[in-house]
Each structure stands twice: as structure tokens, then as C-alpha cells.
Amino acid sequence: MKTNMIPALRLTLFCAVFFSGIYTLIILGIAQFSPNKGKGEIVTSKGKTYHINVGQKFTKDKYFWSRPSAVNYNAASSGGSNKGPNNKEYLAEVKTRLDYFMKKNPTVKCEDIPSDLLTASGSGIDPDISIDGAKVQVERIAKTRNLSIDTIIKVINETKERPLFRMFGPEKVNVLALNIALDEISK
């Protein structure tokens, strides 16, 4: 037993020191070479400052809606709902979101709504939605802002982000960037 305890204690001590101290300092050092020194990308619109890499809550009909958040878009407590697809409470929550979306977007067919508009991400603060998630909202926004559908599609295409090296991940659009671009057009 003694032969196993001493190496286990050494390993535990080493991991505690390395991962809570040294590794953290290494990552902090690397972050100093990124934009804004690792504090995230910040944008300013209408006199307010936002972190573009953190999901924002948009509820007005004139804006693209973000992905639902299990933590009410609070970056300090990011996390998912941890409810499985068979959980009755979770299914009721998704059904409520679907009903509300259908009420505000009556011309959209239920089967055309992508899952990212009804389910929260693992972090609860995902700033992006799929291109399909943006396109199903176009008609509502065009009507509310009195803009043409083509104009809004053009804004989506101008703000969409391509996958890394055009092969890792799907195309997506940052909701905050998209809504800021719409506000600029509507001026």
C-alpha cells in the first residue's frame, strides 16, 4: 500500500501545482498575443459596449433572435441545461419556444425551423446561429424594418463566417454583428 500511496500523492501534488498555476500562466501568456489581450472581441454600438463572442439576448421583432440560453445569457455562469431529450420539462420548454417562434413568424413551416433556434447550446452563451436559423427570420425582420428580403439576405451573406479552412464546422452568422449591420442600414 505504501508503494502506491507515495507516487499517487506526488502525482496529485504535481497536477495541482501544474494545472492550477503553471498551465494557467502559460495560457494567460499566450492570450497576451491575441486581440484585446485575451479579453474577447469588443464592439461598440449606440454608445454601448458588447463582447461579440458572447451571446446577447434579442427579443424585438426587428432583430435576429439568438440561440436560447440556459443561463439567461450570463457569461459569468455559462452552462447548458443538462436536460436530456426525453426530459418532460425540457420538451415543454422547447415546445414553448417553438410556439412563440411560430406566433412571431407565421409564414415559416415548423419543419423549416433549425434546432439551434429552439435549443440552448452547451455553453448557454453561443453568439452564433446557423445560416438557416437566420434565413427563417428574414420575412419577420423585413416586414418590421420595412426593408426588402433581398437586402436582409445580402446582410446575412456579408456577415456570415465560413468554416475554418473551409472544412471544419458549418457556416454561421454572429447574431450581434448581424443586428448591428441591420441597424446601420436602417439609419
Residue type, 101: F
Q: What are phi and psi of 160, to 5 degrees?
A: -70, 145
Residue 16 to residues 4, 6, 22, 24, 121, Cα–Cα distance (Å) = 18, 15, 10, 11, 30
The 10s digit of each residue's pLDDT in 92-121 is 999 999 999 999 999 999 999 999 999 888
Three-state DSSP class for residue 143: helix
Structural contact between residues 101 and 113, judged by C-beta atoms closer than 8 angstroms: yes
Structure confidence by residue, pLDDT tens digits, 147-187? 999 999 999 999 998 887 777 888 899 999 999 999 888 77
33-47, 87-101, 105-119, 130-144: which range is least confident on average?
A: 33-47
Name the amino acid, one letter, at 146: N
> What pLDDT sits at residue 36?
74
The residue among 155, 160, 124 whose CA lies nearest residue 62 is 155
What is the C-alpha separation between 175 and 159, in angstroms, rounded? Answer: 9
Beta bridge partners of 42: 51
User: Grid coordinates standing for 8?
Assistant: 499517487
